[in-house]
């Protein structure tokens, strides 16, 4: 079982996994390290990744991109973020039913179909899982997915739903910056002190958003001190500035606006992206789009100065403001930072690097893999959270970017709001989440979860109520222009009472960053009678020994918590459990249809390849190996088969896989006879030479006078010689008959026949000449010398073996002459 971390990007996605104690990036079927974040729909199947990219220009209106940016968003005409996403989409982004959430309207299998962004993301996650399983040769079920820090409850919840629809168990959803910090700190913790923080700033510029954070690292943990994000500042915004620049020049020249045409806009977008990359290392580049509109070309020269001037109007100020707000939120000075790490493809742009360096007053560090660090951090988090891996713990937790407030009706403000840990214990004051007191009028709001709070915590809100009431949660202090973000609401069905009761509401901010109402209870005082045996006391204050005492009944007051029924009204746009189950079934059905379509396409490609090869062979090298009647039959079958394949490719959904297999077998049956004749003719000479060589080898062995074979009986050698002569005679006879046949007649002797004859001859020869040499006969017992006994040896002693040519004991050894 494997776990993977997924960096779900707007343009490309990256996967990483942990195996053999190291983190490695998962490669695709094309041996790439990234997968384009695209999902396309056609008449017969869905296309994902590189396959969707290859057909995006020809199938633009049915290709879904940027689905990550609209996950969980409910359509709102006043939402500037959604308005921009719809402008940059491929004219197919729309609000879809039943929850009026953002999605896509495409043509799929001959009809118009609506898919929510969650379902499109689920289809893409299914593709990523298949790629990972094919690359790792292991099943994948547990994942950790990264999302931008600006993602709120609705976006994170939709991403979690997408993973569920794809059949993946999502262990965590963490922000891009949190994953980057984890990848940075995990392999450097031996360099960090246990009592002194190592503070580093991280800036990531992606295709559609920019994020930055400041984190403190210790030997055993890390903590994100501040985090900011801008969902309208990224690499595509730089591309759009270049597009507008050349579109304006083209419109002045031709009176046509290329941004109004989807096809022309895609051409401009592709060339603008190339120009931006070239300007990262060069001072100028040529910009040329052939036949942009109505056979008119768009050409020009783009310098780095002009590009930076285009970005200086809106993008540079946004970048500077974002980085300055990060320092302000952290409360740190530039001198407190150890280094600044940059990640993401957008950080390769020179003006972006200049902005970051000026904002922090430090040289930029590039020790992390710019395009892969987020996926690597997610893989580490997946290994830490999975029960299948044992990883040394490194303290790490997510923090909320926006504060969450609570509003209420029918009563006064809550008595107090107390933070608890996930286990229900109060958090210490030093954590920054001490008990919050509120005295806010009814109908107003209080901050339930401040910005920067840790996830996987519980808030206990205490009210004094004598009847039912409603609580609503929503985000506060959102960026300007952002729509009001409603979270879950909770209606407490408290029975009316004469006096106010103490009601406790528990709200859980789980490790996905999602706010959920967990429990509602009321404190009640209950009197209980308890019987206690009181000892009898005699006069003088002493107990009477052995005297019987009457039991005493005492009333005890015990405070208990009784659960109160409550109903949760989920935030708008969130699918129900039944809808999620239906989406999962639809995804399984569509994935199965895609698999069948792929298998049919593979068989059709195999059929078409065999068809073309047979047509070339029957009119070329194999022409003489077929009779005129056979050639006519094959050519007619090839013509009809070609027409059948063309019709099948028009609408492959109407063709059964078995029909494709049957058509291929029909062609192979007809063409196979001619192919076998040609193969026999091509391999006959080599097989004949091999058989002649085997005959010669056996004859040489049979006539050999080598001492090693002297023990072989003459009769056995004669058998080898006879078999060699018989084999040679058989070969001469067969080849004489075969030489008189035309090539279009089936051969009398086959290559396999000659190989069998050769193998039989060599096996028999090997058997005869591998017989072992007989052992020499032992001498008769009467000729063996009798052993001599040592008369000086005592009973029980054993004689030592004498060395060869040894001198008698006590006599001097003879000396050799010099």
| pLDDT tens profile 193-223 | 999 999 999 999 999 999 999 999 999 999 9
- Among 314-328, 583-597, 746-760, 765-779, name the one with the lowest average pLDDT: 765-779
Using the structure block, give the residue that is written with the tokens 């096809």.
263
Confidence band of 416 (pLDDT split at 50, 70, 90) = low
With a CB cutoff of 8 Å and minimum separation 6, the contacts of 573 are 72, 73, 74, 99, 100, 101, 154
d(CA 765, CA 702): 8
d(CA 356, CA 492): 50
Mean pLDDT over residues 683-702, rounded? 93
- Cα 436 → chain centroid: 42
Q: What is the predicted pLDDT for the residue at 486?
A: 81
Mean pLDDT over residues 388-402, rounded? 87
Using the structure block, give the residue that is written with the tokens 């921009």.
84
With a CB cutoff of 8 Å and minimum separation 6, the contacts of 426 are 418, 419, 420, 435
Count of beta carbons in the 10 Å neighbourhood of residue 452: 18
Nearest in space to 151 (alpha carbons), one of 37, 10, 38: 10
| Collapsed DSSP state (helix, strand, coil) of residue 643 | helix
Q: What is the predicted pLDDT for the residue at 802?
A: 42
44 pLDDT more than 60: yes
With a CB cutoff of 8 Å and minimum separation 6, the contacts of 478 are 402, 484, 485
Q: Are 78 and 22 in contact (CB under 8 A)?
A: no
- Among 56-60, 69-73, 161-165, 708-712, name the one with the lowest average pLDDT: 708-712
Nearest in space to 61 (alpha carbons), one of 36, 82, 42: 42
Q: What is the predicted pLDDT for the residue at 438?
A: 41
- Among 447-456, 542-551, 747-756, name the one with the lowest average pLDDT: 542-551
Q: Are 568 and 517 in contact (CB under 8 A)?
A: yes
Count of beta carbons in the 10 Å neighbourhood of residue 798: 6
Confidence band of 511 (pLDDT split at 50, 70, 90) = confident
307 pLDDT more than 70: yes
Count of beta carbons in the 10 Å neighbourhood of residue 120: 25
Torsion angle of the four alpha carbons 340, 345, 347, 351, in this order, in degrees rounded to the nearest 10: 180
Mean pLDDT over residues 502-530, rounded? 87
Nearest in space to 96 (alpha carbons), one of 123, 119, 79, 126: 119
Beta-strand runs (E) in 359-479: 364-365, 404-408, 416-421, 436-437, 445-449, 457-465, 469-475
Residue 267 in tokens: 């051409």
Q: Which residues pair with 210 in a beta bridge?
A: 205, 230
Residues in the chain: 818
Q: Are 46 and 590 in contact (CB under 8 A)?
A: yes
Confidence band of 600 (pLDDT split at 50, 70, 90) = very high
Confidence band of 428 (pLDDT split at 50, 70, 90) = very low
Mean pLDDT over residues 405-432, rounded? 61
| Collapsed DSSP state (helix, strand, coil) of residue 238 | helix
DSSP 25-83: EPP-TTS-S-EE--EEE-SS-EEETHHHHHTTTTTGGGEE--GGGGTTPBP-TT-HHHH
- Among 39-48, 238-247, 397-406, 791-800, name the one with the lowest average pLDDT: 791-800
Q: In what order do the strands lie in the sheet with 111-116?
A: 93-96, 101-108, 111-116
Confidence band of 783 (pLDDT split at 50, 70, 90) = low
Which of 556-595 are b and which e, b meaning 16 or more Cβ less than 10 Å from the residue's Cβ? Answer: eeeeeeeebebeeeebebbbeeebbeebbeebeebbeebe
Confidence band of 649 (pLDDT split at 50, 70, 90) = confident
Confidence band of 480 (pLDDT split at 50, 70, 90) = low
420 pLDDT more than 60: yes
d(CA 306, CA 317): 17
Helix, strand, coil % (nearest 5) of the chain? 40, 25, 35
Percent of the chain at pLDDT > 70 equals: 87
Domains of the chain: 2-233+319-385 (3.30.420.40), 404-534+551-569 (2.60.34), 583-768 (no CATH)
Confidence band of 261 (pLDDT split at 50, 70, 90) = very high
Count of beta carbons in the 10 Å neighbourhood of residue 709: 16
Q: Which residues pair with 228 in a beta bridge?
A: 212
Count of beta carbons in the 10 Å neighbourhood of residue 616: 11
Residue 53 in tokens: 């990219």
The HSE-up count of residue 359 (CA atoms within 13 Å, CB side) is: 29
Nearest in space to 464 (alpha carbons), one of 414, 418, 498: 414
The chain-wide mean pLDDT, for the chain, equals 87
The DSSP secondary-structure symbol of 594 reads: H
With a CB cutoff of 8 Å and minimum separation 6, the contacts of 564 are 492, 493, 494, 503, 520, 521, 522
The 3-state secondary structure of 324-347 reads: HHHHHHHCCCHHHCCEEEEECHHH
d(CA 39, CA 41): 7
Q: Are 111 and 345 in contact (CB under 8 A)?
A: no
Residue 796 in tokens: 């029980």
Helices (H), 619-740: 628-650, 657-702, 714-739
Q: What is the predicted pLDDT for the residue at 538?
A: 52
Tens of pLDDT, residue by residue over 533-554, are 666 555 555 555 555 566 776 7
């Amino acid at each position: 079982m494997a776990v993977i971390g997924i960096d779900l990007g707007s343009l490309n996605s990256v996967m990483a996994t942990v195996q053999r104690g190291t983190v490695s990036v998962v490669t695709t079927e094309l041996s790439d390290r990234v997968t384009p974040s695209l999902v396309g729909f056609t008449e017969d199947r869905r296309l994902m990744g590189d396959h969707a990219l290859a057909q995006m220009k020809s199938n633009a209106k049915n290709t879904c991109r940027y689905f990550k940016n609209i996950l969980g968003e409910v359509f709102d005409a006043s939402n500037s973020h959604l308005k921009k996403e719809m402008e940059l989409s491929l004219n197919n982004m729309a609000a879809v039913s039943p929850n009026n959430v953002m999605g896509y309207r495409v043509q799929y299998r001959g009809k118009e179909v609506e898919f929510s962004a969650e379902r499109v993301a689920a289809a893409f996650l299914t593709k990523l899982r298949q790629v990972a399983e094919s690359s790792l040769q292991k099943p994948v079920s547990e994942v950790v997915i990264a999302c931008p820090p600006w993602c709120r409850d609705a976006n994170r919840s939709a991403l979690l739903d997408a993973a569920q629809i794809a059949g993946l168990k999502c262990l965590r959803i963490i922000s891009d910056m949190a994953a980057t910090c984890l990848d940075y700190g995990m392999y450097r913790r031996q360099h960090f002190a246990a009592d002194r923080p190592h503070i580093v700033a991280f800036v990531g510029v992606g295709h559609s958003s920019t994020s930055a954070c400041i984190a403190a690292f210790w030997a055993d943990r890390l903590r994100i001190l501040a985090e900011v994000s801008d969902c309208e500042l990224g690499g595509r915004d730089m591309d759009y500035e270049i597009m507008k620049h050349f579109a304006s020049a083209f419109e002045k020249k031709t009176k046509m606006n290329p941004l109004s045409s989807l096809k022309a806009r895609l051409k401009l977008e592709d060339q603008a992206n190339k120009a931006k990359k070239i300007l990262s290392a060069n001072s100028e580049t040529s910009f040329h789009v052939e036949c942009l509109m109505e056979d008119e070309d768009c050409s020009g020269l783009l310098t780095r100065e002009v590009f930076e001037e285009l970005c200086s109007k809106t993008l540079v100020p946004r970048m500077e403001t974002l980085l300055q707000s990060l320092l302000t939120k952290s409360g740190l000075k530039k001198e407190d930072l150890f280094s600044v790490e940059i990640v993401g493809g957008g950080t390769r742009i020179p003006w972006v690097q200049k902005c970051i360096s000026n904002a922090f007053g430090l040289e930029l560090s590039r020790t992390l893999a710019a395009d892969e660090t987020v996926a690597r951090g997610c893989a580490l988090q997946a290994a830490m959270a999975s029960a299948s891996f044992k990883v040394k713990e490194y303290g790490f937790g997510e923090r909320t970017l926006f504060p969450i407030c609570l509003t209420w009706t029918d009563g006064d403000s809550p008595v107090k709001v107390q933070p608890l840990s996930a286990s229900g214990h109060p958090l210490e004051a030093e954590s920054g989440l001490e008990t919050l007191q509120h005295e806010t009028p009814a109908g107003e709001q209080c901050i339930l979860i401040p910005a920067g709070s840790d996830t996987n915590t519980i808030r206990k809100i205490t009210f004094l109520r004598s009847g039912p009431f409603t609580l609503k949660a929503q985000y506060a202090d959102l960026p300007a222009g952002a729509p009001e973000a409603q979270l879950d609401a909770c209606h407490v069905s408290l029975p009316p009472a004469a006096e106010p009761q103490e009601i406790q509401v528990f709200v859980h901010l789980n490790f996905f960053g999602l706010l959920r109402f967990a429990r509602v209870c009321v404190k009640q005082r209950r009197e209980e009678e308890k019987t206690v045996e009181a000892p009898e006391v005699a006069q003088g204050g002493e107990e009477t020994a052995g005297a019987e005492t009457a039991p005493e009944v005492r009333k005890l007051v015990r405070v208990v918590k009784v659960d109160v029924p409550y109903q949760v009204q989920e935030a708008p746009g969130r699918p129900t459990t039944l809808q999620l189950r239906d989406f999962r079934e639809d995804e399984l059905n569509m994935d199965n249809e895609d698999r069948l379509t792929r298998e049919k396409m593979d068989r059709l490609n195999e059929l078409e390849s065999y068809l073309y090869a047979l047509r070339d062979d029957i009119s070329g090298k194999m022409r003489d190996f077929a009779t005129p009647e056979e050639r006519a039959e094959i050519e007619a079958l090839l013509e009809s088969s070609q027409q059948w394949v063309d019709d099948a490719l028009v609408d492959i959904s109407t063709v059964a896989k078995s029909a494709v297999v049957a058509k291929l077998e029909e062609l192979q049956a007809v063409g196979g006879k001619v192919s076998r004749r040609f193969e026999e003719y091509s391999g006959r000479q080599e097989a004949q030479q091999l058989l002649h060589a085997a005959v010669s080898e056996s004859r040489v062995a049979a006539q050999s006078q080598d001492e090693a074979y002297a023990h072989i009986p003459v009769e056995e050698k004669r058998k080898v010689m006879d078999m060699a002569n018989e084999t040679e005679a058989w070969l001469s006879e067969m080849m004489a008959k075969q030489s008189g046949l035309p090539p279009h007649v089936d051969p009398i002797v086959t290559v396999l026949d000659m190989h069998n004859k050769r193998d039989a001859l060599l096996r028999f020869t090997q058997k005869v000449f591998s017989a072992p040499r007989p052992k020499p006969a032992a001498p008769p017992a009467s000729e063996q010398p009798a052993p001599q006994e040592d008369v000086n040896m005592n009973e029980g002693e054993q004689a030592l073996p004498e060395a060869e040519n040894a001198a008698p004991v006590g006599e001097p050894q003879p000396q050799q002459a010099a």
